[in-house]
Amino acid sequence: MKLLQDKILQEGKVLSESVLKVDSFLNHQIDPQLMLEIGEEFARLFANEGITKILTLESSGIAPSVMTGLKLGIPVIFARKRKSLTLTDDLLTATVYSYTKQESNEISISNKFIEKGDHVLIIDDFLANGEAALGLIELVTQAGATIAGIGIVIEKSFQAGGNKLREQGLKVESLARVESLSNGEVKFVKDKVEESV
């Protein structure tokens, strides 16, 4: 997605060989118009998958997911990283290790909003080692629902997550695929080269 790549080149900050900071439009400040266009793109890519629900993870996955849900006309559920007192229902839980934050989080959803028969699109802001996506997949599986696909805003293709998920036969669509962050520079995977993998 050209618009997103341009935004990353203009505003993204390369903090290390593996950390790209996009706090000015996705992870802290949010650009609502860009989120709408991201939502339109995910909706286009997954239009024919018979999706009934979108599942994401708080907090940075919420904005792109809500725009996608708006375009597809379906609800969004966000998994929580901590339990809330008002979430009194039976919870489905999975453990997710964050390499960025160097800690494990239990993520959870109520068993009320994703059910057997649901066909779920998972959306997240970043795909690196795939831990968050695998945790979300586990929640969907526990609910007895099926995975329609995985929509990622920014994939770091030099980390293992993308391959892990694609090897499982999952449809993974990343709107920007970063090949390398070496020398303080963002390089994207060339268009379509890996699309057929």
Q: Does 109 bind a second copy (CB under 8 A)?
A: yes
- Distance separating alpha carbons of residues 72 and 89, to the nearest angstrom: 27
> Closest approach of Cβ 63 to a second copy, in Å?
5
Q: Does 145 bind a second copy (CB under 8 A)?
A: no
What residues contact residue 17 under an 8 Å CB cut-off, 6+ apart?
181, 182
Closest CB to a second copy among 167 and 185? 185
> Closest approach of Cβ 76 to a second copy, in Å?
4
- Distance separating alpha carbons of residues 57 and 108, to the nearest angstrom: 9
Q: Does 183 bind a second copy (CB under 8 A)?
A: no
Helices 32-45 and 62-72 cross at an angle (nearest 10°) of: 50
- β strands within 37-145, DSSP E: 53-57, 76-79, 91-98, 103-110, 119-127
Q: Does 66 bind a second copy (CB under 8 A)?
A: yes
Closest CB to a second copy among 70 and 170? 70
Question: Under a CB-based contact definition with an 8 Å cutoff, are residues 154 and 125 in contact?
Answer: yes
Name the CA radius of gyration of the chain, rounded. Answer: 16
Closest CB to a second copy among 17 and 58? 58
Mark the segment that binds a second copy (CB under 8 A) among 15-23, 139-147, 153-161, 178-186.
15-23
> Closest approach of Cβ 164 to a second copy, in Å?
22
Residue 7 structure tokens: 């935004």
Q: Does 182 bind a second copy (CB under 8 A)?
A: no
Tell me whether residue 132 is annotated as binding: yes
Write the single-letter amino acid at 135.
Answer: G
Tell me whether residue 129 is annotated as binding: yes
> Closest approach of Cβ 137 to a second copy, in Å?
19
